């Protein structure tokens, strides 16, 4: 049986910490490449506007509008709206959650079936959709993930 020497201990320590450092570097590179880290541009300004956002959310809830987003087979989005007035203007911004693709502005037109259909095709993939519907002074907004 061979003796365990200082050189063996050195090799074990270098190997162990080499693996730890390699894993940390790999995970850091993945983290940096997947999320830019900005949730709000200015947290102080966001904190000052928070109560206004709560009031707007309560007013939107009081409207009672229900919206369901459906991805059609032709690649366009359809909004099935209930509890809202007939004539709505509907727009949306679709952005890639990791920022790898440019954001796309979508405009919706009312179809004869009553639903609102986007005028442009949205490519398949993962998108974050910021949806806005308006009728006069009433406005309804939502952000949802499309898969």
Is a pLDDT exceeding 90 seen at residue 105?
yes
Instruction: Report the percent of the chain where pLDDT is more than 90.
Output: 53
At 107 the three-state DSSP class reads strand
Question: 141, 107, 103: which is closest to 123 by C-alpha?
Answer: 103
Spatial distance between the Cα atoms of 84 and 135, rounded to a whole number of angstroms = 8
pLDDT of residue 36: 66
Q: Residue 113 — pLDDT band, cuts 50, 70, 90?
A: confident
pLDDT at 87 over 90: no
Mean pLDDT over each residue of the chain, to the nearest integer: 89
CA angle 13, 22, 12 (to 5 degrees): 15
Q: How far is CA 97 from CA 12, 81, 113, 146, in A?
A: 42, 25, 31, 10
Q: What is the pTM of this model?
A: 0.64
pLDDT, tens digit, 9 for 90 and up, residues 119-139: 999 888 889 999 999 988 888
91 pLDDT band (50/70/90 cuts)?
A: very high
d(CA 128, CA 142): 10
Q: Indicate the pLDDT class of residue 58, thresholds 50, 70 and 90.
A: very high
């Amino acid at each position: 049986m061979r003796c365990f020497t200082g050189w063996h201990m050195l090799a074990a320590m270098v190997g162990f910490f080499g693996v730890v450092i390699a894993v940390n570097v790999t995970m850091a590179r993945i983290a940096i490449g997947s999320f830019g880290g900005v949730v709000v541009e200015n947290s102080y300004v966001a904190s000052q506007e928070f109560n206004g956002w709560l009031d707007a959310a309560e007013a939107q809830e009081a409207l009672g509008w229900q919206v369901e987003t459906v991805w059609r087979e032709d690649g366009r989005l359809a909004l099935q709206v209930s509890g809202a007035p007939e004539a709505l203007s509907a727009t949306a911004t679709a952005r890639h959650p990791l920022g790898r693709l440019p954001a796309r502005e979508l405009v919706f037109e009312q179809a004869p079936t009553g639903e609102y259909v986007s005028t442009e095709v949205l490519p398949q993939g993962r998108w974050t959709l910021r949806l806005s519907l308006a009728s006069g002074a009433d406005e309804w907004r939502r952000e949802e993930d499309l898969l």
